[in-house]
Amino acid sequence: MTTRHDDDEILAAARAGFLEEADELLSQFEQCLLGLETDPHDAEVINAAFRAAHTIKGTAGLFGCDAVVGFTHEVETLLEAVRAGHLAVDEPLIAALLQSRDQMERLLDEVRAGRSDTPDPELDAISRDLGAQLRTLLGLEAPAQQAHAPGAGTAAAAAPVGGSWQISLRFRLDALRNGLDPLSFIRYLATLGTVEHVATLDERVPGLDALDAEDCHLGFELRFASDDADRAMIEQVFEFLIDDCDLTILEPDAPAARWDALLRQRCGDDDAARARLLATWAAQGVALPMRGAPAAAAGAALERPANVEAAATGEPPAPQIERRAADPAERRRNEPERRAGSKDRRGDDTRFLRVSADKLDRLIDLIGELVIAGSGAQLVAQREASPAFLEAAQRIHDLVQEARDGALSLRMVPIGETFARFQRVVRDVSKGLGKDVELEITGGDTELDKSMVEAIADPLMHLVRNSLDHGIESAEDRQLTGKSPRGRLALNAYHESGLIVIEVSDDGRGLPRERILAKAIERGLVSADQPMTDAEVNQLIFAPGFSTAEKVTDLSGRGVGMDVVKRNIDSLRGQIHIASTPGAGTTMQIRLPLTLAIIDGFLTTVGEVHYVVPLEGVVECIETPPACKADDGRLSGCFDLRGEVLPYVDLRRAFRQDGERPARQSMLLVRTPTGKVGLLVDRLLGEHQTVLKPLGRVFQHLPGIAGSTVLGSGEVALVLDLPSLVGHAAISHAALRRQGHAGLRPATA
């Protein structure tokens, strides 16, 4: 037996599901509108936009979100006019619909915040203004257009508006099992007018011994009055019920033949059932159109077959909503078949589950602890030197690794959804700047950790807006330099060596090297006589407060943004690089690890401290070159590896570890964004699954350290941040060189 508390929890979960689905539908709606700007005559895109708006309206009605229903109905009506061919798709119409999409989002946010019962007057005013704007676009043809709703036939188009309608509804057995609440549709119907009478018919409910709680045996006879609703609008209320009910709608002036047909359809030859239904109609105030015949005569008249009466009067038979649904693909184009019509398929119709992100995070944490415990078991097995124990531990290790990969894949999502958000940004910003810019998206199916997708959205926004404002020129300037008037902004993503690479590129003017350098010298960031490569100059734009803009705009010029981008990417253990060609464009490349939770690492030691190097960056392990063996106090230097001169960093010096240096050390060759670098360590311990733990606040400022992990022995190991470590070593030697001390000196093996 469910309690009121259980019901509240179920309703809250359903409401949360509705809001999540509404967010997805709003995103789909926006993509459709942006697609219509490119191809205004794409009927499929128009239909997809209509379906998204209609689904939001219908589901919002089930939860009593009247403000959402009322405003979205205005949007839906305008889109129906476009579908019917009465309105052309142009820029004012797209702009109005995009504003309406934003308003729908704001109204849904009110529902999410629990303020839907006390509407915001300011939001109401916006809804009224936008609604008036949409009706202005409709012109005087709006009422006629509503008659062209999907499935409305000739009789529907001619149906009158206003008066009392008779709605005869019989649910099928699977309605409840398929998640449909009969009363919710009746409540939604009330948003279009007044439900004057509701008669619940329960004669089909079996006895308790034959009752299945999941079966629906109910029927309803509704009397519905409205001043402006037509057949199409009423049918749309029950559109999602088409496969789960038997529905007939009679207009206010329906002739006798239609009532005849409905009575025969519902009761057949059962005299008692006919009498009960006639009594129900009479109680609802229905005046049967029997040319003034008394009730007894009416009953006799109803004995005649409906098709005979229809033939005699020339009236068409009663239309039924299920017969108009000739094209299921139009109704549920993207929805798989929910059932085969029988109970034996109850277990086969679920393909996806919505899982709380907190539960998923908890699972990842448990997998991480299992990785640590598995490492501990392997250490014990090695100490015991038992072949059987070693084999069992290895089997556990393999299973844990498989479980780890499976758990991490649950959090992997394609980045394409994030990329798609920028279509609207590019459209609005470029129009605001008076520029014509085309957005190209590639690699949208590239996956990375969901937490990283959310964290990277903000830096990408800064980069996109910067490219639009500073990078891409106006159409006039582009034509003067021989370019196409339309600018190009591209977003691309791909995997490379265990990393995800995201690129934001444009074909604009490129970075002004001389202006950047002059500004940096003016601010004292670099000295005037300091030689710098193009890559080093480009990195100066990430300095806090740095800007070369000649004037401040709403988009940029205040010197904030790029330093935030760099800081956010650093916090994700990523790097950002810039490639720019004057007059040809700029590419910002972001390189990120695929996940922040569990990584494959290579375990080393320096003194008594363990260090883990991300395995995707390891190239090879070599014996320490002779040139690196001299203990002359240098933090780093260079060595010759098979004819290639490479830099190295002495980790003992880098982390200021005292103690006697071992007689034999090793060199770990790693790959960084600037090239290959050698790391001088005491011992190489091999591959190690690493559960990355964040550093506490006290240690977050330490350069070269990305986090920590717990080894199977219970000891703590530090995870190296290779780009930060190499950069810190270079900065340290630059400072020593300026002070006249020994710096980076090449040495040969």
pTM of the full predicted structure? 0.59
Q: Which residue has the tokens 């003992």?
A: 652
Q: What does the pLDDT average to over 479-493? A: 92
pLDDT at 147 over 60: no
Q: Of 164-173, 364-373, 588-597, 739-748, give the range with the top mean pLDDT.
A: 164-173
Q: What does the pLDDT average to over 273-295? A: 73
Calpha distance 359→343 (Å, rounded): 31
Give the model confidence (pLDDT) of 89-140 as tens digits.
Answer: 888 899 999 999 999 999 999 888 888 777 788 888 898 899 888 888 887 3
pLDDT at 504 over 90: yes
Confidence of residue 287 (pLDDT cuts 50, 70, 90): confident
Does residue 721 contact residue 573 with C-beta atoms inside 8 Å?
yes
Give the model confidence (pLDDT) of 78-88 as tens digits.
Answer: 888 888 888 88
Q: What does the pLDDT average to over 172-198? A: 82
Confidence of residue 402 (pLDDT cuts 50, 70, 90): confident
Q: What does the pLDDT average to over 332-342? A: 39
Confidence of residue 733 (pLDDT cuts 50, 70, 90): low
pLDDT at 744 over 60: no
Give the model confidence (pLDDT) of 3-47 as tens digits.
Answer: 556 666 777 777 788 888 888 899 889 989 988 888 888 888 998
pLDDT at 734 over 70: no
pLDDT at 680 over 50: yes
Q: What does the pLDDT average to over 416-428? A: 88
Q: What is the pLDDT of residue 99?
A: 92
Does residue 745 contact residue 725 with C-beta atoms inside 8 Å?
no
* Strand blocks (E) in 240-348: 245-250
Top-confidence residue, 352 or 108: 108
pLDDT at 393 over 60: yes
3-state SS class at 165: strand
Q: Which of 268-277, 310-319, 386-395, 587-596 has the lowest mean pLDDT?
A: 310-319
Q: β-pairing, 644-650 with 675-681?
A: parallel
Q: Provide the token pair at 247.
A: 């529905």
Confidence of residue 548 (pLDDT cuts 50, 70, 90): low
Calpha distance 408→406 (Å, rounded): 6
pLDDT at 347 over 50: no
Q: What is the pLDDT of residue 586?
A: 93
Q: Which of 58-62, 582-586, 716-720 has the lowest mean pLDDT?
A: 58-62
DSSP assigned state of 469: I
pLDDT at 328 over 70: no
Give the model confidence (pLDDT) of 220-236 as tens digits.
Answer: 999 999 887 888 888 87
Q: φ, ψ for residue 123 (rounded to 5)?
A: -65, -40
Top-confidence residue, 65 or 505: 505
Q: What is the pLDDT of residue 503?
A: 94
Q: Which of 56-60, 64-68, 206-210, 631-635 has the lowest mean pLDDT?
A: 631-635
pLDDT at 304 over 50: no
Q: φ, ψ for residue 170 (rounded to 5)?
A: -125, 115
pLDDT at 400 over 90: no
Q: How many CB atoms lie within 10 A of CB 574?
A: 23
Calpha distance 292→341 (Å, rounded): 44
Calpha distance 533→53 (Å, rounded): 53
- Supply the mean pLDDT for the chain: 77
Q: What is the pLDDT of residue 472?
A: 92
Confidence of residue 145 (pLDDT cuts 50, 70, 90): very low
pLDDT at 446 over 70: yes
Q: φ, ψ for residue 14 (rounded to 5)?
A: -65, -40
Does residue 222 contact residue 189 with C-beta atoms inside 8 Å?
yes
Q: How many CB atoms lie within 10 A of CB 380?
A: 14
pLDDT at 152 over 50: no
- Interhelix angle for 562-571 vs 450-466, to 10°? 160
Amino acid in the structure at residue 90: D
Q: β-pairing, 437-442 with 487-496?
A: parallel
Give the model confidence (pLDDT) of 698-707 as tens digits.
Answer: 666 677 787 7
Calpha distance 529→533 (Å, rounded): 13
Q: What is the pLDDT of residue 4?
A: 57
Q: What is the pLDDT of residue 636?
A: 76
pLDDT at 326 over 80: no
Q: Provide the token pair at 626.
A: 């002779």
Q: How many CB atoms lie within 10 A of CB 590?
A: 23
pLDDT at 258 over 70: yes
Q: Of 222, 307, 294, 295, which Cα lies nearest the Cα of 264?
A: 307
Contacts of 731 (CB under 8 A, 6+ apart): none
Top-confidence residue, 273 or 315: 273
Number of H helices, E strands in the chain: 25, 21
Q: What is the pLDDT of residue 623?
A: 86
Amino acid in the structure at residue 349: D
Q: What does the pLDDT average to over 364-373? A: 83
Confidence of residue 351 (pLDDT cuts 50, 70, 90): low
Q: Which of 556-560, 644-648, 672-676 has the lowest mean pLDDT?
A: 556-560
Confidence of residue 632 (pLDDT cuts 50, 70, 90): low
pLDDT at 146 over 50: no
Q: What does the pLDDT average to over 332-357? A: 48
Maximum distance among all Cα pairs of the chain, rounded to whole angstroms: 118
Calpha distance 637→203 (Å, rounded): 91
Torsion of CA 663, 667, 668, 671, to 10 degrees: 160
- Residue 345's region, left for phi above 0, alpha for psi from -120 to 50, else beta, is alpha
Q: What is the pLDDT of residue 491?
A: 95
Q: What does the pLDDT average to over 709-734? A: 75
pLDDT at 332 over 50: no
Q: Of 59-68, 460-469, 649-658, give the range with the top mean pLDDT.
A: 460-469
Q: What is the pLDDT of residue 633?
A: 64
Q: What is the pLDDT of residue 732?
A: 56
Confidence of residue 597 (pLDDT cuts 50, 70, 90): low
